[in-house]
Amino acid sequence: MCRGGVHVDADFVSREVCRGQYTTTELNDAESEILRILEWRLNGPSPHEFVDGMLSSIATMSPREGGGGSAGAYTSSSPLSIRSKAWIEDVILDYDSAITTLPSTLACDAILSVLNESSMSSMSNDVDVDVRNGASEDCLSWMMIRAMGMDDTDV
């Protein structure tokens, strides 16, 4: 194991930290299993992952089309997702914004900015479809639910 330039040997962890309760092989296997389950994602979610998560959450909570969400409307390849991620790319070029703004905040700002821009412009018909489907209303509802500490089942 290595972190910040400090090497911690698995034998030491097994012997001293775990006091012999686990073998080196068991520790290595457990570490490998954890990394496999996490799919090697050791950092928190990026703004791009938040965009996908928010849009899929909006789709499942939106009471449209027979009570269910507009599930197919908000995929990672939807125009709203693609443009939101492009907006994020532009914003994080400013290093101060990139390091001082939470990834979830960047994602919300991106989604709302793209929705606002598309509702103001007749040039973006592909995202207008999402606006007509109520994406901005859904996004705001999702943010309000989260801000009040509720989850989708409390609505």
Note the pLDDT tens digit of each residue in 13-43: 888 888 888 898 998 999 899 989 988 888 8
Whether 62 contacts 69, CB under 8 Å: yes
Q: How large is the average pLDDT for residues 131-135?
A: 45
Q: How large is the average pLDDT for residues 113-129?
A: 58
User: Distance (Å, rounded) from C-alpha 98 to C-alpha 116?
Assistant: 22
From residue 74, alpha-carbon distances to 28, 58, 62, 134, 152 in Å are 39, 8, 11, 11, 17
Model confidence over 57-90: pLDDT tens digits? 766 554 444 444 444 456 667 788 899 999 999 9
Q: Specify the pLDDT at position 123.
A: 41
Does 54 or 144 have the greater pLDDT score? 54
Indicate if the pLDDT at residue 127 is higher than 60. no
Q: Whose CA is closest to 152, among 75, 88, 57, 79?
A: 57
- Residue 71 has a CB neighbour count (10 Å cut-off) of 13
96: exposed, middle or buried (C-beta count within 10 Å: 0-12, 13-18, 19+)? exposed
pTM for the model = 0.55
Would you place residue 53 in the very low, low, confident or very high pLDDT band (cuts 50, 70, 90)? confident
Q: Specify the pLDDT at position 146.
A: 57
H/E run at residue 2 = strand 2-3
Does 49 or 149 have the greater pLDDT score? 49
Q: How large is the average pLDDT for residues 93-106?
A: 84
